[in-house]
Amino acid sequence: MYIIIHNSILCGKSYKAKTFKHSLGIKLLSKTKLKLGIICFLLTLSILLVPTTFMVSGQDNLFHVTLTVPSTNPSRQLWSEVIAQNMIDAGISVDRAIQDWGTIYDRALDPPPEIVGKTFDEGGYDMLFVGYAMGIDPDPFSLYHSSQTPPGQNYYNWVNTENDRLCKLIKETVDPDQLLQYVKEWQQLGHSEQPSITIKYDQEALVFDPTALVGDPFEILHYPVWPRVAEWELNPQTTQDTIVLAQTGPAPEEGLNNWVSTSYYDLNVFGVVFDCLTRRENLETLDLIPSLATSWEVADDDKTWTFNLRQGVKWHDGVEFTAEDVKFTYSAAMADDLASNQGAFVKEIIGSADNIEIVDNYTIKFHLPAPYAFFASGLVSEGSTGWILPKHVLENVPYDEWRDHPFNTGVGSYTSNGQTFSGPIGTGPYKYDNYNPTTFTNTLTKNNDYWDAQRLLGDGLFGIEKYVVAFIEGSDAAITALKTGEVDVLDAQYSLQAKLGSIEQPWGDYVTYDAFGLQELGINMAHPIFGTGVDTPLGKEDPSRAAEAARYVRQAISHLVPRQQIINEILDGYGSPGVTTPITTLTFGFDSSITPYSYDVTMAKSLLAAAGYDTGVAPPSKDFLEEYGLYVGVAVVAVIVAVGAVYFIRKRQS
């Protein structure tokens, strides 16, 4: 289900910058309520509008675009309205399609092969507003390399030979200085080409009940080391040992098996069920520490990785964890019949199941076809591709049944080691108990036999006996649930930055932190105007310049995004203007010399004129365009419509 909104109102055009105050004590509640009232009014009005096609006064529309907007995040809906209006002011005809996540997956993120690369009017998508929780390593390969187009993770369908060259060099370069240089070069290319228009880097706010929990751990244990529930700290004064996390969407959404899910909602559940070979200590030190592997090393060829596995670890059904489980996990991930979201990426790095060698029960070797700089910190660690599955539970389940199996759905039951289970079995600190479809809650209980329990208990942690994940739609309802004691933590994806003035002691408190998340406007790079450019005036006049014309259109749209105003006025100053995806301000190698696209309607019209459109503004000079494009003279762009199903490795935020 979705709503099409033909934009015909002005939203947010009269923004004025204001000074952001960090201290809750100097915020005026009346001002916060007024702002929230305005936001709610605008959102309500936009949804209730009678659909009419908006024609820009005094000129013909240059072209038409439908902006797809997820229905779950009011703040995102609001800035999509602002950007849509700016595009209209520049002469572009715009619709907004407010869709639920199921529809977005079917059209954009996980469509059938016949829909891949199609425009919105053809059943696909044009541009998609979406938020992502990114990993720590500066690795664009899994998102943008041409080998990752459907059925891989590059749902944009971006194919660019210079991008491929740099992605491969970043992936295979182990010298830190040389790696840094390639990362900077890639950022220049991504900034110029704009396959996705990065709106902002997140500064998140996580709200919690201070009578139940201490806030400090949340500042260094957010995504991508989330949700480390075993390391959350109970208030020393509380007798409470059940903690309820409220989140903005349902779980299971895609499922509780990481290898068939890209959902952040699902991660909040299965992230405490499974373990990885390695993990980060926290986001303060960023140290890589042992988990299911006690040590590891790479040979002089930079391709042969040996992991020594922890002995005595038990699955939740009592069966012992061994190297067989590790090989089974990554073999399954690469299986075509499973069609895992991360399958193309894992296959690119490992090659095939034949390259995984079981030396003995507690030693495993990976013989990579080429070096991968982030193998220990990325592929086998927390985030997306590190979670290890139990071979003895799933080896006799056909791959095409994994998604519907109770292990993944939490519905129904199965037997393992003489016991009955519903939901996944892992080696992690919490055992999956049950899913209640009436209350949309998942309940997990403490694993007293957890291999790291003694260390955690010695540090005064691991006091939470029961962990519950609840779906509460809407931030106001979630805040009310916190105030009444129904829940204890509000996930950061509620985007409560503008509502922190309503959080009061003793029932509420919050922490803020710079996050590895971002918000973007993803581009369908197979679209004939802003993807391939074949239907732009310049592309029609000179097909050899079609890709160049499409780049001008994407750059123009990026200039229509008022990044700082969105941050100041919608998010109360939380966040920073975005430059590229997936390299954030926290990522190793972030190039601060590359500045975000300025909000400049005149420049946008000038760039649209460079693509051949009559905007009433002259195109930039040739010298300016060559300097502005950065890679115009060296990048050979080949945009194709790929065939297959779309998957991606990033954890999609609500």
Task: Give yes or no for residue 13 having a pLDDT over 70.
Answer: no
Residue 17: inside a domain:
no
Helix (H, G, I), strand (E, B) or coil at 284: coil
Task: Give yes or no for residue 43 having a pLDDT over 70.
Answer: no
CA atoms within 13 A on the CB side of 561: 25
Residue 92: inside a domain:
yes
Helix (H, G, I), strand (E, B) or coil at 162: helix
Helix (H, G, I), strand (E, B) or coil at 617: coil
Q: What pLDDT, on the 0 to 100 scale, is given for residue 111?
A: 81
Q: For the CA atoms of 123, 125, 126, 131, what is the dihedral angle to 10 degrees?
A: 170
**Nearest CA to 156 among 164, 166, 146, 168?**
146
- Average confidence (pLDDT) over 633-651: 30
Same domain, 354 and 326: yes
Same domain, 242 and 351: yes
Contact 385, 378 (CB under 8 A): yes
Contact 553, 529 (CB under 8 A): yes
- Average confidence (pLDDT) over 512-539: 97
pTM for this entry? 0.84
Q: How many domains does the chain have?
A: 2
Residue 20: inside a domain:
no
Same domain, 379 and 488: yes
pLDDT tier at 380, thresholds 50, 70, 90: very high
Same domain, 543 and 462: no
Place of tokens 């996980």: 110
Q: pLDDT tens across 196-214, in order?
A: 999 999 999 999 999 999 9
pLDDT tier at 626, thresholds 50, 70, 90: low
Tell which wins on pLDDT, 262 or 324: 324
Whole-number Å distance between alpha carbons of 515 and 220: 10
Candidate from 169-183, 234-248, 618-632 with smallest mean pLDDT: 618-632
Task: Give yes or no for residue 353 having a pLDDT over 50.
Answer: yes
Residue 582: is the preceding peptide bond cis (ω within 30°)? yes
Whole-number Å distance between alpha carbons of 273 and 257: 10
Whole-number Å distance between alpha carbons of 332 and 343: 9
pLDDT tier at 627, thresholds 50, 70, 90: low
- DSSP state letter for 51: P
Task: Give yes or no for residue 512 having a pLDDT over 90.
Answer: yes
Task: Give yes or no for residue 113 having a pLDDT over 90.
Answer: no
Q: What pLDDT, on the 0 to 100 scale, is given for residue 243?
A: 98
Residue 341: inside a domain:
yes
Helix 29-48 with 74-89: angle, nearest 10 deg: 60
Token pair of 405 as six digits: 């199996």
Q: pLDDT tens across 52-90, in order?
A: 222 223 346 999 999 999 987 788 999 999 999 999 999
Q: What pLDDT, on the 0 to 100 scale, is given for residue 384?
A: 80
Residue 553: inside a domain:
yes
Q: What pLDDT, on the 0 to 100 scale, is given for residue 629?
A: 56
Whole-number Å distance between alpha carbons of 603 and 620: 8
Domain closes at, from 480, 507, 534:
507
Same domain, 68 and 152: yes
* Beta strands in 486-541, from DSSP E residues, in sequence order: 489-490, 509-523
Same domain, 480 and 527: no
Instruction: Determine the structural domain holding residue 472 and report its residue range.
Output: 210-507
Same domain, 314 and 405: yes
Q: What pLDDT, on the 0 to 100 scale, is given for residue 153?
A: 81
Task: Give yes or no for residue 348 having a pLDDT over 70.
Answer: yes
Task: Give yes or no for residue 32 having a pLDDT over 60.
Answer: no
**Nearest CA to 158 among 607, 577, 646, 611?**
646
Token pair of 292 as six digits: 């299911």
- Average confidence (pLDDT) over 470-476: 93
Same domain, 224 and 189: no
Percentage of the chain exceeding pLDDT 90: 77
- Residues whose CB is less than 8 angstroms from the CB of residue 407 and which lie 6 or more positions away in sequence, other chains included: 256, 257, 393, 394, 397, 414, 421, 423, 424, 425
- Average confidence (pLDDT) over 480-494: 96
Q: What pLDDT, on the 0 to 100 scale, is given for residue 20?
A: 24
Q: pLDDT tens across 556-599, in order?
A: 999 999 999 999 999 999 999 999 999 999 998 999 999 999 99
230-to-378, 429, 496, 566 alpha-carbon distances in Å: 22, 7, 25, 36
**DSSP collapsed to 3 states, 403-463:** CCCHHHHCCCCEEECCEEECCCCCCCCEEEEEEECCCCEEEEEECCCCCCHHHHHHCCCCC
Q: What pLDDT, on the 0 to 100 scale, is given for residue 133?
A: 85
Same domain, 529 and 626: yes
Residue 93: inside a domain:
yes
Residue 18: inside a domain:
no
pLDDT tier at 256, thresholds 50, 70, 90: very high
Mean of per-residue pLDDT scores for the chain: 87
- Average confidence (pLDDT) over 350-360: 98
Domain closes at, from 465, 487, 507:
507
Residue 62 host element (H or E): none
Other Cβ atoms less than 10 A from the Cβ of 273: the count is: 23
The gap between the terminal CA atoms of the chain, to the nearest Å, is: 17
Same domain, 526 and 442: no
pLDDT tier at 241, thresholds 50, 70, 90: very high
Other Cβ atoms less than 10 A from the Cβ of 588: the count is: 13
- Residues whose CB is less than 8 angstroms from the CB of residue 63 and which lie 6 or more positions away in sequence, other chains included: 92, 93, 529, 535, 613
pLDDT tier at 622, thresholds 50, 70, 90: confident
Same domain, 520 and 496: no
Whole-number Å distance between alpha carbons of 261 and 468: 20
Q: What is the CATH number of the domain that holds 319?
A: 3.40.190.10
Domain closes at, from 459, 475, 507:
507
User: Strand 466-471 and strand 441-446: pairing?
Assistant: antiparallel
Tell which wins on pLDDT, 385 or 26: 385
- Average confidence (pLDDT) over 26-40: 40
- Phi then psi for residue 127, to 5 deg, are -140, 145
Same domain, 501 and 564: no
Task: Give yes or no for residue 635 having a pLDDT over 60.
Answer: no
- Average confidence (pLDDT) over 226-251: 96
Token pair of 519 as six digits: 């918000």
Residue 534: inside a domain:
yes
- Average confidence (pLDDT) over 172-194: 96
